[in-house]
Structure 1
C-alpha cells in the first residue's frame, strides 16, 4: 500500500467512525431527553457496514435505514408498550389529537434517517474492506468489554431498556424481550374464560347482585401488598385512615388483568389474548349488569388502551366510557410503567364523580408499578428507616403507595360537597414484584392482597 493509499484509508476510517459515532450520540441524547433507555453504541449499524461491501448501494442504504427505524421504534415503545404490531397500527389510527408539531417532528425524523443512511453508505462504499472490518471490530470489541464490566439489570422488560451496557445490539434486545414469555402469551389466541373461585373484594363490600345504592369508586391498586408488619400498612394508609370503614385481606396471586377479570366479572382467563372475546363472555360482569339497568359506568387507566386489549374488552365488560393514556392529552408522563400520572387521572375522576346520578367509577392505578421509579414520587411523607424497611425496592414501593393514598385523600376532600353518598373500595391487584424473593417473603404475606372500604355520607343523607 502506498503512502497516499494509507492516508486515504486512515481518512476514510476516521470519517466513517466519526459519522457513526455522531449518529449514536444523537440517538443517545434523544433517548436521555425522554428518559428512555438505550446503549450509547448500537452495534447493529456495524453489521450493515460489512454487508455493504457485498451488496449494491441501494440495498445497503435500505438496510441501514431499517436499522435506524428499529432504533427509532425502541424509543416510543418504551412510552407506549405495544405487544403486537396491530396494536401500534390501532394506536396510530386513534391519534386524532396529534398536532402539527408532532407531525413535523415525525417527518423530520424520517428525512433525517434517510439522509444519514445515504451519507453513511456513500462513505462506506468509498472505504476499503480493511476500513470496514476495523470499524466493525471496534464496535464488537466495545460490546464485549461493556458486557464484561457491566451486569445486566434485572429491571429490563419488553417495555423498558434498563440495562447500563454502553455498547449493545438494540435489534437483539428488541427480539429477546419482544419474544419473552409475557409478550408471547399475549398472542396466544386459545382464550378461554371460566368462572373464578377466588374471592372478590368488590362483592364483599357491595352486593354485586343488586343495583348500587350509592355512587361507587372501585380502585384496583397496582402492586399494593399485605405487609406482615401492620405498622407499615398503617403508615401507608395514614392519609385516609380517618375515613376507613372496614379493612381486610383476600387470597390472590396472578397478573393485574387477572385481578381485573376476577373483581369485575368473576372470571379466570387462560391466556392474555382478549382481542377475539365477545359480549357473551362478559355478560355477567358487574359493570355490564348495572349498565343494563341504566347506570353510568366509567373506567380509568393511565397506561395505553392496547395493553391486555383493554380497548376491546372494557366495553364488552360494560364500561361505556374509558379513559386511557392514548385517549387524550396529559400534562405529564410517568415512568414506573409507561403512561400518564395517577394524580392527573384523579382530577378527571373528581370531575366525573361530581356529575349528578349514581354511577360506577372504576380506576386501575399505574404509578406504583414495578420498578417503582422515584421519578414518579413527588412527596416525602413516608420514612423507610423509621419502619426498618431496608430493601430499596420495597421502600420505593411503600413510598409510592403512600403517595397514592395522598392522591386518594385529595379526591375525598374535593368531593366534600358531593350531594350523593359515595362508597370507595380499594384492593390490591397482586403482591408487589420484588427482585429479592427472600426480602419479599420477609416483609409480605405474598399470597394475599389488602382491601379497604370508605363510605362518605353527605349532607342530604337523612
Structure 2
C-alpha cells in the first residue's frame, strides 16, 4: 500500500523519446490487431481497424505491478475469443458459443487454409500474451498510458465512423475505424434477428385463401422433382422485366412439356416462405424450430414423398445452424441435407459468406445424375442464397439485365437484385439442358419480396409483398 501511495505522490516527468522508441510504442499499441486484420482481409470479412478491448489491456500491461500484468494477460485471451467469434459468425452464421461443437466433425475435411488458420490462432493465444507482457516492460509507462487513453477517447468519438460503407447482418458491416469487438458481439446477440432465432415458434396451418407454389406440382407426382425457393425473388412491376429475367429459360420451351409463370401475395421472412411451401404452415413468435417436436411437420411435402419411396435431399449454401435448419429439415422429411459446411472447396459469395449459387448448380446436376434409373424417385429442394440482401454487385458476373433500360440506379440495390436474379436463371437454364435433367418437373418460387435499404423507390420496379413462381417439366 505504501509503495502504491508513493507512486502517486512522486513527481513523474516524461523524458524525451527517440524516433525508434516512438515507433516501438506505436507497434506495441497496434500489434494485437494485426493478426485479426490479416484474417479479416484473407477471409473477406469485416473488422474494426482498432479494437478497443486491447487498449484497456495495454494500459494494464504497462503498469509496474505484476499482478495487474498477469490479469491483463488473462483478459487478453478473452478478448481474442470475442475477436475470433466476430470473425467466425460472418463465415458460419451463429452466435451461440456452444454451437462450435456442430463444426468439430467438419475439421477432418476442412481446407488446409482453415486448419492452418486455427493452428496460427492457437499459437497466437499461447505466445502473444507472453510477448506483450515482456514488450510492455520496455516502454515508458507515462507515454504509453497517455497514448492508450488518447486513442480510447478518439476511438469512442469515432465509434460510428466506417472506412467502408456497407449494411448487413451478422457482423458483416463492422467496418469501423475503432470499436470494441466484445461490445459488437453483445450487440449482435441482442439483435431482433438473433432473438427471434432463439424464441420458440408457434406453427399453424396456412389459411385456405393463401397461395403456395408447391400446390402446383402435378398429380400424381413426377418421379424426379426439383423444387427451388429463390432468395428475394419478388414480382416485377412490368411483365417485360420478368421476361428479361427468364429469357434463357423460355428460349428452351420446346424442350418442355409445358411452362407457366405467375405471382401471388406473400409477406414474411425466408423461413416463413420455406414453411409455406414445404409444409403449408405459418410461423409466428420465433424461429427456434429445432425445439419443436416432429408432429407439426408430419404433413410436410418431403415427409409425404418419403413415404412414397422418394429420396429427399436439400441444399443451401450457408451454415445449417441458421434458422435451425439442421434440426427441422429432418423433421420435415428431408433425409439428406447439404449445407455450406459440406462444400468447403467451392467459391464463396457475399451473402452470409455462403457458397455461390453458380457453384451449387453443378452439385444439382451431379446428384440428379445418380438417379437416372426408371424406378428412381428423387425430390431435390434447393434454397438459393447469392441474391440475398444487400445484393452485392461484386457477386454479379452476368450483366445481361440492363438496369438503365428500366431507369434503375446502376449501382443501386434494385438493380443488384434484378441482375442477381437474371444471373441465377441464366445459370439455371444451363443446368436444365444437361441430359440427367430429362423428365424432371421444376418449380422455382420466391421466398419474399426483395428488401431494400438504400432509399431507392421500389414502387416503379417491384410489386409490394408479392413473389413470382415458375413451373415447367422437361421432356423425358
Structure-1-length-normalised TM-score: 0.90
Counterpart contact for 1:191–1:269, Cα < 8 Å: yes
Quote the offset at 1:153 in angstroms. 4.4
Counterpart contact for 1:196–1:267, Cα < 8 Å: yes
Cα deviation 1:372-400 (Å, max 9, x = unaligned):
11222222222211222126111111111
Quote the offset at 1:296 in angstroms. 1.3
Counterpart contact for 2:350–2:392, Cα < 8 Å: yes
Report what 1:196 is aligned to. 206
Counterpart contact for 2:302–2:334, Cα < 8 Å: yes
Quote the offset at 1:425 in angstroms. 0.5
Counterpart contact for 2:316–2:384, Cα < 8 Å: yes
Counterpart contact for 1:193–1:281, Cα < 8 Å: yes
1:247 aligns with 2:247: no
Counterpart contact for 1:24–1:42, Cα < 8 Å: yes
Report what 1:318 is aligned to. 333
Counterpart contact for 1:384–1:390, Cα < 8 Å: yes
- Matches of 1:127 and 1:338, distance apart in 2: 41
2:378 aligned residue (351, 359, 368): 359
* Cα gap change, 1:285 to 1:437, in 2 (>3 Å): farther
Quote the offset at 1:230 in angstroms. 2.0
Q: In the TM superposition, what are the counterparts of 1:158-177 in structure 2 within 5 Å?
A: 158-160=170-172, 162-177=173-188
2:470 aligned residue (449, 452, 458): 452
- 1:275 match: secondary structure: helix
- 2:235 match: secondary structure: coil
Cα deviation 1:22-74 (Å, max 9, x = unaligned):
44244323312221111221122111123444753322111112212321222
Quote the offset at 1:114 in angstroms. 2.9
Q: In the TM superposition, what are the counterparts of 1:261-280 in structure 2 within 5 Å?
A: 261-270=275-284, 271-280=286-295
Report what 2:100 is aligned to. 88
- 2:299 match: secondary structure: coil
Report what 1:390 is aligned to. 409
* Range with bigger deviation, 321-330 or 251-260: 321-330
Report what 1:20 is aligned to. 29
Report what 1:45 is aligned to. 54
- Matches of 1:332 and 1:150, distance apart in 2: 27
- 2:78 match: secondary structure: helix
* Cα gap change, 1:5 to 1:151, in 2 (>3 Å): closer
Quote the offset at 1:181 in angstroms. 0.8
Counterpart contact for 1:143–1:166, Cα < 8 Å: yes
Quote the offset at 1:149 in angstroms. 6.0
Report what 2:359 is aligned to. 344
Cα deviation 1:412-441 (Å, max 9, x = unaligned):
1113x65x5211111000011101456123
* Cα gap change, 1:192 to 1:147, in 2 (>3 Å): closer
* Cα gap change, 1:83 to 1:121, in 2 (>3 Å): same
Quote the offset at 1:126 in angstroms. 5.7
- Matches of 2:344 and 2:283, distance apart in 1: 32
* Range with bigger deviation, 435-444 or 223-232: 435-444
Quote the offset at 1:8 in angstroms. 6.9
Report what 1:184 is aligned to. 195
Quote the offset at 1:180 in angstroms. 0.4
Q: In the TM superposition, what are the counterparts of 1:101-140 in structure 2 within 5 Å?
A: 102-124=114-136, 127=139, 129-140=141-152
1:296 aligned residue (292, 307, 311): 311
Q: Which runs of 5+ in 1 are unaligned?
A: none
Structure-2-length-normalised TM-score: 0.87
- Matches of 1:149 and 1:347, distance apart in 2: 41
Report what 2:421 is aligned to. 401
Counterpart contact for 1:239–1:405, Cα < 8 Å: yes
Quote the offset at 1:147 in angstroms. 4.6
1:224 aligns with 2:236: no
Counterpart contact for 2:236–2:242, Cα < 8 Å: yes
Q: Which runs of 5+ in 2 are unaligned?
A: 1-9
Counterpart contact for 2:297–2:331, Cα < 8 Å: yes
Report what 1:335 is aligned to. 350
Counterpart contact for 1:57–1:125, Cα < 8 Å: no
1:376 aligns with 2:395: yes
Cα deviation 1:4-30 (Å, max 9, x = unaligned):
972479976653321232442443233
- 2:108 match: secondary structure: coil
* Range with bigger deviation, 45-54 or 149-158: 149-158
- Matches of 1:329 and 1:100, distance apart in 2: 10
Quote the offset at 1:369 in angstroms. 0.6
1:411 aligned residue (416, 431, 442): 431
